[in-house]
Structures are given as C-alpha cells and as structure tokens.
Amino acid sequence: MINKLPPLTRRTALAGLGAALAAPAIRPAFAQATPIKVGVLHSLSGTMAISETALRDTVLMMIEWQNARGGILGRRLEAVVVDPASNWPLFAEKARELLAVSKVDVTFGCWTSVSRKSVLPVFEELNGLLFYPVQYEGEEESKNIFYTGAAPNQQAIPAVEYLMSADGGGAKRIALLGTDYVYPRTTNRILRGYLNSKGIADADIIEEYTPFGHSDWQGIVSRVKTFASQGKKTAIVSTINGDANVPFYRELGNQGIKAEDIPCVAFSVGEEELAGIDTRPLVGHLAAWNYFMSVQSPANTEFLAMWRAYIKNPRRVTNDPMEATLTGFKMWAQAVAQAGTTAVDPVRIAMIGQKVNSPCGYTEEMHANHHLSKPVMIGEIQADGQFNIISKTPTAIPAENWSPFIPENANRRRP
C-alpha cells in the first residue's frame, strides 16, 4: 500500500523546503566562498538508466537540502554530473575526469559491481572518495570507498534462508538467475556454498546468466518450470539487473508462474523498476532489501515529503539505493563538519562511527570496514507496485564483506 502523506504534511514540507532553499541568497559570505564540489557518477543512458537516474536525482535533492541548511563549513555545495552511459570502461574515464579535472571533493555513484571495480583503481590512485549505494557481492574493502548498500549477509543469505523456511515455502531446489557479470556470479557462488552447507545438493541448484539488456526470457523461464516440476519445492533467486527485469517479469506472468508455486526473490528490483511493469500477475513474488517505500517511520515520512517536494511528481517512488544514497550523504556531511575540512584523509577518519536515523526506521552506523550496519527486510509485491514487508530483523546487522563461503578470502573476515 502506498504511503500517502496527508495534504497538510506535504504542504508543510513544500513550504518549509521552499523557504529554506531561498535562505542562502541572503548569506553573502556563503555565496562568495569556494563551493564544495560533489561528483555524481551514475548512468543516465543505456541499460542501467532505469535504475540509476533516480540516484542522480537523489544526490541533487540532497545537495539542495544541504544548501538550504547553510551548506557545510559555510560553503555551498555544487554538483558535477557526468553520464558514463552504462559503459563500464567509460566509468573509469569519467571518474578520472571528476577527480583530476573537476577536482570534486566527494563522489556518489555506480550501481553495478563492474562499474565500481572499473573506477576503484582510479579513486585509489588519486585518493578520491566514493560512496557506493547498492547491494553487492562483498569480497572487497577499499580505503577510498564507503559501501552504503548491503553485503551478502545483509540481503542474499537472509533471503535464501527465508525461502527455505516454513514461512517462505520450504524451498528445496533453487534456480539462480542473473545478469552475466561479477555481482551475480560471486553472489551465487556464495549462495551455492551456503545452500550446500544446508544440505542442498548441486543437483538441486541451476544457474543461468544473460547479458545486460536481455529481452528473450521464454526459454529460460520454461527451463525453470521444467526444473520445478521434478517433485521438490522450487524458488527463483534473481540477480538480474537493469531494464532486463521488465521482460523477465513479463515472461513470468506470461507463463503463469505464481508466487505460491515458484516464488521469485529479487535482489535488484525495487519500486523504481516495478513502476514500468503490470505487477498484478506478480503479486506475492518477493524482494530482499534493507528499505522499502512502504516503511512506516518518521524518518521515512520526512524522506517521502522531501522527495515529492523536490521531484514535483507525486507518482515517483523511492527505493533502497535512494535511501542508501541519502544515508551516505548525511554521514559524509556530518564527517566533513566534524573534520572541519573536505580533505579526504581527515573525512575518512571522521566517517567511522557516524550514525544516521535512516528512513528504514533503524539507526545505521558506519563501521571500520567502511560498511554500514543495516536491517534486513523481505517484501512481497503488491498489485500497486509497492511492497508489503513480511519479515524484518529486529536490529541493524553489521556487514560481513568477506564471506565464509569464499574459502580464499574467509580468513580476511573481521571478528
């Protein structure tokens, strides 16, 4: 059910935001100070634009929000937006442009792990600071990246645990469907190890990978139906990314795959992706995230009011990576204020231990491994494209970015 704000709340939010945005005009020192440059490194075209454009808009909203509060250290924030166009080598070029040419103080960006891995050496070489807001496969830790999305123990493993539970249908066979790049393949390697540890044999696991932008799902969905017809309860775990989700979900509906028969849990499908799909045939299928738009919390009410006032479109939705972007932005702003500078090294130190009362309804904290503690939520697709939260952890869970199911990295896990 969509969380609709009462008219008075929205009018108050709009009025408050409008008044606040006007305030910097009467601060001469604020206007004359050297601006703080904020890089925005998200695909605005290509296969990932369906997901990443909203993250660009979230960063721009937060910059307006911060400027309305007087900026940071008496300085106005200024966005520097580039479009890497869902082209993974171009991400590295655009990252170098942001750091070496535009001299940004911080960057918010990337969605896919291949784009993050493309830019990582650039940020390390030039000592830049990247906030990465999307769930990922783990097996990484960089002093130049703060990971505000979920690690596998904060999304993938709890989702499969749920599918195998009585509440989730008691799945005994798993179809792992993913886009062909590092995040799905590594996540599914972790999940295969986890499933094996729980007594699920390799014969009861299938994996299928498709290119970005894949559109012909008839054969794969048909094979999943055949796999599920062999006498054991079957579930789909989807690490499909970008606009390929639209024809995938359409094909589930075309072939009559209902949640009560073969539930599908997705790790990269949220409210934004569902906005372009007829969700009525998908009711009951699942997604695992750390935030849903339907969360009931004061911080989420504020987030929704801020977003609606900024975007001027009451039909636009929020989602998990947007919430992670907001949380990361607020933590960075707090760290800059605490450090008294935008310089990367002092801000990096100040980031550890930063806390934000996030829209998910939990207080999230940045830990020494540059990952957040986050709650885990399972949501069920509703006919209106929203999610009914059917399971959530009582507390925020610290991230394990090194998985015990990747043997060569298991000894790198923090206590």
Alpha carbon distance 399, 115 (integer Å): 21
pLDDT for 212? 94
pLDDT per position as a tens digit, 20-46: 443 444 454 566 789 999 999 999 999
Q: What is the pLDDT of residue 288?
A: 97
Residue 393 pLDDT > 60: yes
Q: Measured at the alpha carbon of residue 57, what is the angle toward residues 56 and 60, in degrees to the nearest 5?
A: 90
Percent of the chain past pLDDT 70, that is, above it, reads 92
pLDDT-based confidence at residue 272 (cuts at 50, 70, 90) = confident
Cut 0.85: pTM above it: yes
Is the pLDDT assigned to residue 384 strictly greater than 50? yes
The string of pLDDT tens digits covering residues 73-131 is: 999 999 999 999 999 999 999 999 999 999 999 999 999 999 999 999 999 999 999 99
What's the pLDDT at 9? 39
The pLDDT of residue 23 is 41
Number of Cβ within a 10 Å radius of residue 7? 8
Rounded CA-CA distance 376/154 in Å is: 6
- Structure confidence at residue 169 as a pLDDT band (50, 70, 90): very high
Planar angle of CA 359, 55, 95, nearest 5 degrees: 130
Reduced to 3 DSSP states, what percent helix, strand and coil does the chain have, rounded to the nearest 5? Answer: 45, 15, 40
Statement: residue 275 has pLDDT above 50: yes
Q: Per-residue confidence at 5, pLDDT binned at 50, 70, 90?
A: very low
pLDDT tens digit sequence for 171-208:
999 999 999 999 999 999 999 999 999 999 999 999 99
The whole-number pLDDT of residue 311 equals 95
pLDDT at 3 over 90: no
User: Is residue 14 pLDDT above 70, yes or no?
Assistant: no
pLDDT surpasses 80 at 240: yes
pLDDT tens digits, residue range 148-167? 999 999 999 999 999 999 99
Residue 407 vs residues 53, 136, 142, 412: alpha-carbon distances, Å: 37, 18, 20, 10
Tell me which of 183 and 9 has the higher pLDDT: 183
Domains of the chain from N-terminus onward: 7-150+296-373 (3.40.50.2300), 153-294+378-412 (3.40.50.2300)
